[in-house]
Amino acid sequence: MTSTCLVRNMLDLPRELRDMVYSYFWDELTVHSLPLARVLDSGGVLTKIPQIADKKLVGEQIAAEAVGWLYNNSLHLTINRPSGLPGFLSDDIFATGVRAEACSLRRLTIEITDMDCDVSGLQALTTAKLRNDFHLHIRIGLGSKSIKGIVHLGVRLAELPIPASDAMIVAEDVEPWDVTDLMGEPYLAWEDALHGVL
């Protein structure tokens, strides 16, 4: 049941002020706590929807605006694997009628935990609506990996024609690299050797 007084007061605000309210609700902690991976695996909707996006609490218009704000402005949206991207873009995961594909995404982080993972899901970005300054952040957490694998992944990513004039793809490594095939010794071995010399 919606709180009609809250909804009426919220809708009386200019859109710019409502957007400020949405920005406070969609803080980094809230966005990171969304169980997107589980929802994308099942092809369903979120079972625990944040209050600002719950149309039963705030009404359809505010819920739709809040979800639209999230997709258009958040710096913290994260998908746990490339194959989940098409569902993220096309599914109505908040049950508000707003889909990410209809919004101009600002930034998206995609985690890659397997160098040989299927990155074909990233093709969905080539037809997505993106801001001109769209930022794709690839977070690589692979345990032991090789430079060759990273380069191969980079080549596959470089082939994506991202439809944004100032689009940026940034890869972040979260663990040491195995550069045996490049330098002859694993990274940790030369790190130990350097500590012995310094």
Q: What is the pLDDT of residues 45-97, one digit of tens each?
A: 676 788 888 888 899 999 999 999 999 999 999 888 888 889 889 989 899 99
Query: How many domains does the chain fold into?
Result: 2
Q: pLDDT per residue over 175-192, tens digit each?
A: 655 555 555 555 555 555
Q: Which residues pair with 109 in a beta bridge?
A: 78, 137
Question: Based on the domain organization, do 90 and 77 belong to the same domain?
Answer: yes
Quick one: residue 107, left, alpha or beta (phi over 0 = left, psi -120 to 50 = alpha)? beta
Please tell me whether residues 91 and 156 are part of one structural domain.
Answer: no
Same domain, 127 and 70: no
118 and 87 in one domain? Answer: no
Q: How far apart are CA 39 and CA 74, in angstroms?
A: 19
Give the CA angle between residues 7, 29, 54 to the nearest 5°: 25
Domain boundary (103, 136, 156) is at 103
- Supply the range of the domain harboring residue 69: 1-103
Q: Cα 49 to chain center, whole Å?
A: 17
Asked which of 75, 103, 131 is the last residue of a domain, the reply is: 103
8 A C-beta contact, residue 96 and residue 63 = yes
